[in-house]
Amino acid sequence: MFQINAPWLRGAERAHLEDRLSEIYCENLGEDLIYLWVEAIREHLQNKAGHSSGGDHSETQSKAPVQSTEDDDGDDGFDLALLEGEVLSSLRAMDIKSEQEYECPQIRHGDTLTDRRSTFQPHVAPVFFKEQVKLVLDKLMENKKIANATHNMLAYRIVQHDKGGPRVFQGCDDDGETHAGSRMLHLMQIVNAENVMVVVSRWYGGIQLGPDRFKHINNCTRTILEQQGYLGQREEKKGPRSGKKGK
């Protein structure tokens, strides 16, 4: 049971918000709801503020990232120099051709890990071309729960073997969690994971975890890589010759 205390919220607008909260409850039976409800209410209020001001940027405001308010001292103990080779730190920096020529690979979801009301969940997909990285992320964002996560950190590593030797395409995105994606990529380099992308979603529960959050992110990454057979691989996963759709 829940009750909304907002005298200014009346009629259809109040009914719409109540319906949205009930919908979230039905979609997430047995899971922690408070943060999901808070996010829904936040979006509702931002949309209302945007409409009342007559601005055209309410959609952009509703998608503003929510920080987990973890304390960052500027030094989280991770040295970026540990990363080998050229690393793309943002999908925007990628030279992506038409994504329509490529298929989105199958995405597998790992078990959730909860610590002090923060929940972490890893997702993994095989990727053999840079274009598939964005396809995977876009597909994940179609899931409202994942899209509403406080952070969706990712790392990918693509190794193409040819006569001139292996060519490595790799990158990461912290999504507001300092060096989290870089740590994930460093782990993938250590275990020599090839042609794979990992995304770790975090739903912040209101209690700061400090350095433990990085331990959970790395554990989620390593666990799902191990479960899907990506640890310690050398020559067995070189990828298909073509990932393009059949004509």
What is the mean pLDDT of the segment spanning 93-105?
65
Report the amino acid identity of residue 129. Answer: F
Residue 183 has pLDDT above 70, yes or no: yes
Residue 243 has pLDDT above 60, yes or no: no
- The token duo for 89 is 């730190």
Residue 240 has pLDDT above 60, yes or no: no
What is the mean pLDDT of the segment spanning 132-161?
92
Residue 78 has pLDDT above 80, yes or no: no
Distance CA 35, CA 59 (A): 20
- The token duo for 171 is 């990158």
* Contact by Cβ (8 Å): 125, 224: no
Residue 228 has pLDDT above 50, yes or no: yes
Distance CA 156, CA 133 (A): 8
More confident residue, 46 or 64: 46
Name the residue among 206, 165, 200, 207 with its Cα closest to residue 182. 200
Distance CA 204, CA 39 (A): 11
pLDDT (0 to 100) of residue 210: 86
3-state helix, strand, coil in the chain (%, to 5): 40, 15, 45
Distance CA 77, CA 30 (A): 36
Cα dist from 114 to 117, 198, 207, 212, whole Å: 6, 19, 12, 12
pLDDT (0 to 100) of residue 236: 47
Q: Residue 90 — pLDDT band, cuts 50, 70, 90?
A: low
